A = this chain, B = another copy of it.
Amino acid sequence: MKLYETPSTPNCLRVSLFLAEKGLDIPRELIDVRAGDNLKEDFNNKSVNGLVPTLELDNGEYLCESIAICRYFEEIHPHPALFGTSHLERARVEMWQRIIELQGIMLIGQAIRNLTQIYKDRENCIEDWGHEALLRFRKLLPTLEAQLKAHPYLAGDNFSVADISAFIMLKMATKLDIEIDQRWPSIHQWQKNIQQRPAFAGLG
């Protein structure tokens, strides 16, 4: 098994945090996305979506999409469970994972790419959409604050992959100077608690 990754990217960090929480370590190969390694034919023959992270399995098959890779590791190493432990908890984790993905990561990602134009060598940037996406992203923060005021973790009582996703989302947001401070006391406290976990050491 081998993980193709650009360690600094949010989705690769997401898988690395997940593996660290599971106590797993697997071989890795560097793909330099900024240099365009993922645009080359050799990588595209491996990765269906052309993106990192991509996991090479021992049977020669490849899995892309960060959460699909995480789910595969959850399947083969179920403990500690990071996708929930009961029928209802698994549904709650999926719900929060998707809210973070679709109303959070997707929007802040579009804001970053359209406003900073970091990949203007390979994509058309629409600045007006960057501003709009950023406005919409900000609307998620009150929802997060309310949930984390009522529960220690996003999906309830237990740490899950949804917390990992929310952590990398807020790390992305710092690129556009969105910092979680005392205006969001419950998110701020949750973030401090998360940073105490061994897997998150050095990501303060």
One of B48, B72, B126 near A128 (C-beta < 8 A): B126
Q: Does A69 contact B (CB under 8 A)?
A: yes
Q: Does A166 contact B (CB under 8 A)?
A: no
Q: Does A129 contact B (CB under 8 A)?
A: yes
Q: Does A102 contact B (CB under 8 A)?
A: yes
Q: Does A76 contact B (CB under 8 A)?
A: yes
Give Cα A48–Cα B143 distance, bound, in whole angstroms. 7
- When C-beta atoms are compared, the residue in chain B nearest to A97 turns out to be B68
Which of A32-40, A84-92, A171-179, A185-193 has 4 or more CB atoms under 8 Å from chain B? A84-92
One of B61, B88, B95 near A65 (C-beta < 8 A): B95
Contacting residues, chain B, for A98 (C-beta < 8 A): 65, 67-68
Q: How many copies does the complex hold?
A: 2
Contacting residues, chain B, for A48 (C-beta < 8 A): 95, 99, 143, 147
**Given A71-B94, A75-B87, A94-B71, do A99 and B129 touch, yes or no (CB 8 Å)?**
no
B126 contacts A64, C-beta separation under 8 Å: no
Contacting residues, chain B, for A92 (C-beta < 8 A): 63, 68
Contacting residues, chain B, for A126 (C-beta < 8 A): 126, 128-129, 132
A88 contacts B61, C-beta separation under 8 Å: yes
Give Cα A94–Cα B48 distance, bound, in whole angstroms. 13
Contacting residues, chain B, for A88 (C-beta < 8 A): 57, 61, 72, 75
Contacting residues, chain B, for A61 (C-beta < 8 A): 88
Listed by A's residue number, 12 A-B pairs whose Cβ atoms lie within 8 Å are A48-B147, A63-B91, A63-B95, A65-B99, A65-B102, A67-B94, A68-B94, A68-B95, A71-B94, A72-B87, A72-B94, A128-B128
